[in-house]
Chains A and B, each alone.
Chain A
Amino acid sequence: MKATFPLLGYDTYALKTFVEDLGGEVVLPPATSKKTLEAGVEASPELICMPFKITLGNFLEALDMGADTVFMAAGARKCRFGYYHYLQERALARSGRPFRLIPVSQYSPYAFLFRLMPVTFGVSPTRVIRSVAVMFYKAGLTHEFRALLNRRRALDFAGTERLKPRALELLEAARSTSEIRAARRSLRRLLGCNGSRPVLRVGLVGEIFFMIEQFANGDIEKELARLGVEVVFERSLLHHLRHLLHLDWSFYRSRRLARRYLRECPGGEALRTVGEAIHFVEHDRVDGIVHVYPFTCMPENIALEALQQLTEDTGVPVLSLSFDEHTSRTGLQTRLEAYVDMLRRRSRERSISRD
């Protein structure tokens, strides 16, 4: 079996480690590019959200490289994401390439551990549980890597960009728990910044795919770092995995905080978006909130209204950015620059009035 799955930014490495640990062979498509998006758009219904188009493009590219099994998350809970795999299966079949699509439900951990994975890979459930543990460990590493990278890059952009290839090598190579532990130490040495902190920090919230996949969000973390801003985030594959196993305590905190503005869950990840934003503002004392989501995303559009309330109550400005295949890089750049300039002027003013 040559397995493939959607690219999820740095978290792709954690999924890859998981499948390889189970004995599967992974065929990763090339990093998402304009070509991927074009292929995905061509095979997709026009008004569907961006993540559908991008992941479909990834699958098409992976099948061209010889992949034969596609893993796609499934399970609908108040968002059409759960139905993606039905449509994608049809679109891939239309393309005439031979393949098998395995939907992985996000909401049945027991079926996943005791039936789906053992049957698919021909291994025992104990083995699957071990591999899941390794994936957890690795997802923790990619999460920490991103946090280290964001801080270090905001302080020294060019220098950190030069270190990045080496860091990515370390990240990719770590496969067992002991290797991951060693890689964590090396990464901390390589990217640590001895307690110094950038002047400006913003919290990243929104739809998870757009928060972790760099092509989708125009590598917003890099662009903000270039402007000297550290991006603080909470959600990544790590939290997603924890959430699926009902072990994610930060979710309960977010849900509690979000109740201030949203009494019901409008679907998707809206509660997390709002709750995390409140947490970043009140606990991490960030200077601003950047909110990213696909253009047609209904839950995030509702979250947007709640975030505007948050701005009104706390004075922390929110930059909401919706993305689709027509989003221009220039427009994104202008907004980010203006936003950072504004934050800088505000913080300068604050420090003057404090003196």
Chain B
Amino acid sequence: MSEAYLGIDVGSISTKGVVIDRDAQVLASRYLRTQGSPVVAIRRLLRELGEMVGGETVISGAGTTGSARRLAGVIVQADIVKNEIIAHAVAACRFHPEARTVLEIGGQDSKIIILRDGIPVDFAMNNVCAAGTGSFLDHQATRLSIPIEDFGGLALKAKHRVNIAGRCTVFAESDMIHKAQLGIATSDIVAGLCDAIVRNYMNTVARGKEIRPPVLFQGGVAANVGVRDAFERALGQPVTVPEHFLVMGAVGAAILAMEETEGRQTRFDGFGTADIEFETRAFECDGCPNRCEVIETLRAGQVIDRYGDRCGKWSEAVVQPVR
């Protein structure tokens, strides 16, 4: 029987889960599409991870991260619920302690984390729109009917990279169509798009940040060799994609859970949680003109969590608090 830790990262587009051992070696990992319903995705993730690790492994700690970290934390009864920045930074430092810059592009957000001696010292997130993130690449691949897996490879075949406007997805798309109508090869356009995404990233997210080597590139978009190549061209230095780049957030959450449960019992009560019914519903509070939208989560018909109220009258009324 070995000790293991569970990490779950529920993002807008994908849901990632890993089980790691005490040395942060990944025992099992799973990458699913969230498809708009995180509850379903989390339950499926638990079931599949449970099957992968088998009955021998005991989970001694669980952590969640990602935009639905709170919901995931409530469902799996996580020991720690942490934001994506810290989770990514922790995982990056574990596998590449020498790293000084982490570029992360996910489904709908992108961030940069500056590390010095293994500590995050500065970060930034895209704050206005999702231009240049995974979902836009996904959309363009679908539009050109190229499988997303081949999209990046196509960019490497480019002979003359064209210039695509990357500030806004709407402009980028019309620019791409315009270039295609001029008869420019698809590979050149895709390469131009990769450049545009990198340019947009450097001008918004990474603006004013000092990018020092070694540079890590993680998150779903790191799978795209075209974007990675564009980053290397723009930065003039090699960019490393870590082995578990897809699930780094989840790995970070698992490492944080390991730190958190040091010397005490986990609250996680097994992969069997996947079989319990969960429901999430929203209502508008009419207590004041703010009309907050309150989200509540029910576990087997019982309210276990509420949030979204500014004043706290609903969230504080729940008996079992979430850390």
Nearest CB in chain B: distance from A210 CB, A: 15
Contacts of B210 in A (CB 8 A): 312
Q: What is the bound-complex CA distance between A315 and B115, given in angstroms?
A: 12
What's the least CB distance linking B117 to chain A, in Å?
Answer: 8
Residues of B within 8 A of A30 (CB): 289
Q: Is the CB of B82 within 8 A of A341?
A: yes
Which residue of B is nearest A344, CB measured? B86
Q: Known: A34-B291, A342-B120, A346-B119. Contact between A322 and B208, CB under 8 A?
A: no
Residue pair A338, B289 in contact (C-beta under 8 Å): no
Using a CB–CB distance below 8 Å, which chain B residues touch chain A?
67, 82-86, 89, 117, 119-123, 125, 127, 207-210, 288-291, 310
Name which residue of chain B comes closest to A308, CB basis. Answer: B208
**Which of A36, A219, A338 makes the CB contact (< 8 A) with B86?**
A338
Q: How many A-B residue pairs have CB under 8 A?
A: 60
Contact mask for chain A residues 310-339; partner B; CB cutoff 8 A; 1 contact, 0 none: 011001010000100000011100110111
Since A308-B209, A342-B85 are in contact, a sample of 8 more A-B pairs with Cβ atoms closer than 8 Å, ordered by chain A residue number, is A33-B288, A34-B290, A308-B208, A312-B210, A317-B123, A334-B84, A338-B83, A338-B84
Q: Which of B84, B208, B209 has the largest count of A CB atoms less than 10 A from its CB?
A: B208
- Neighbour of B127 across the interface among A33, A36, A330, A331, CB < 8 A: A331
Q: Can you list 13 residue pairs at the A/B interface with Cβ under 8 Å?
A: A30-B289, A33-B288, A34-B289, A34-B290, A35-B291, A305-B208, A311-B122, A315-B121, A317-B121, A317-B123, A341-B83, A341-B86, A342-B120
Q: Inside 8 A of B85's CB, which chain A residues have their CB? A: 334, 338, 341-342
Whether A342 pairs with B290 at a CB distance below 8 angstroms is: no
Cβ contact of A35, chosen from B120, B123, B290, cutoff 8 A: B290
List of A residues within 8 angstroms of B290 by Cβ: 33-35
Leading 6 A-B pairs by shortest Cβ distance: A308-B208, A338-B85, A33-B289, A35-B289, A338-B83, A33-B290
A345 within 8 A of partner (CB):
yes
Partner of B83, one of A219, A315, A337, A345: A337
Q: Is the interface of B mostly helix, strand, loop or mixed?
A: loop
How far apart sit A312 and B121, CA to CA, in the bound complex (Å)? 11
CB <8 Å contact, A322 and B122: no
**Binary interface profile of A, 339-355, with partner B (CB < 8 Å = 1, else 0)?**
10110011001000000
* Chain A residue with the shortest CB-CB distance to B208: A308
Which of B83, B117, B210 has the largest count of A CB atoms less than 10 A from its CB?
Answer: B83
Given that A34-B289, A341-B86, A342-B85 are contacting pairs, would A349 and B127 also be in contact in the complex, using a CB cutoff of 8 Å? no
Q: Which residues of B contact A322 (CB under 8 A)?
A: 127
Residues of B within 8 A of A341 (CB): 82-83, 85-86
Q: Please, which residue of chain B has its CB at the minimum distance from the CB of A311?
A: B122
Report whether A349 and B125 are in contact in the complex, using a CB–CB cutoff of 8 Å. Answer: no
Could you tell me the distance in whole angstroms from the C-beta of B243 to the nearest C-beta in chain A? 24
Q: Is the CB of B122 within 8 A of A349?
A: no
Q: Distance (Å) between the CB of A314 and the closest chain B CB?
A: 11
Q: Which residue of A lies closest to B207 (CB)?
A: A308
CB distance from B269 to the nearest CB of A (A): 26
Give min CB distance, B9 to chain A, whole Å.
13
Q: Of all chain B residues, which has the CB nearest A161?
A: B312
**A33 nearest in chain B by CB position:** B289
Kindly report which residue of chain A lies nearest to residue B69, judged by CB atoms: A334
- Complex contact A335–B121 (CB within 8 A): no
Residues of B within 8 A of A308 (CB): 207-209
Residues of B within 8 A of A34 (CB): 289-291
Is B122 a contact partner of A317 (Cβ separation < 8 A)?
Answer: yes
Bound together, the chains give a CA A43 to CA B207 distance in angstroms of 35
Contacts of A305 in B (CB 8 A): 208
Task: Report the nearest A residue to B312, measured CB to CB.
Answer: A161
Q: Which residue of A lies closest to B120 (CB)?
A: A342
CB-nearest residue of chain B to A328: B127
Residues of A near B120 (CB, < 8 A) are: 342, 345-346
Q: Do A342 and B121 contact each other (CB < 8 Å), given the known contacts A35-B289, A36-B289? A: yes
Q: For residue B61, give the distance in angstroms from its CB to the closest CB of chain A.
A: 18
Would you call B289 and A342 a contact (CB within 8 A)? Answer: no
Inside 8 A of A329's CB, which chain B residues have their CB?
310
A165 to chain B, nearest CB (A): 12
Assess whether A338 is in contact with B123, with CB atoms less than 8 Å apart.
yes
- A200-231 interface mask toward B, CB cutoff 8 Å, 1 = contact, 0 = none? 00000000000000000001000000000000
A339 to B86: give the CA distance in the assembly, Å: 9
Nearest chain-B residue to A318 (Cβ)?
B122
Interface string of A266-288 (1 = CB under 8 A from B): 00000000000000000000000
Report B131 CB to chain A, min CB distance, Å. 15
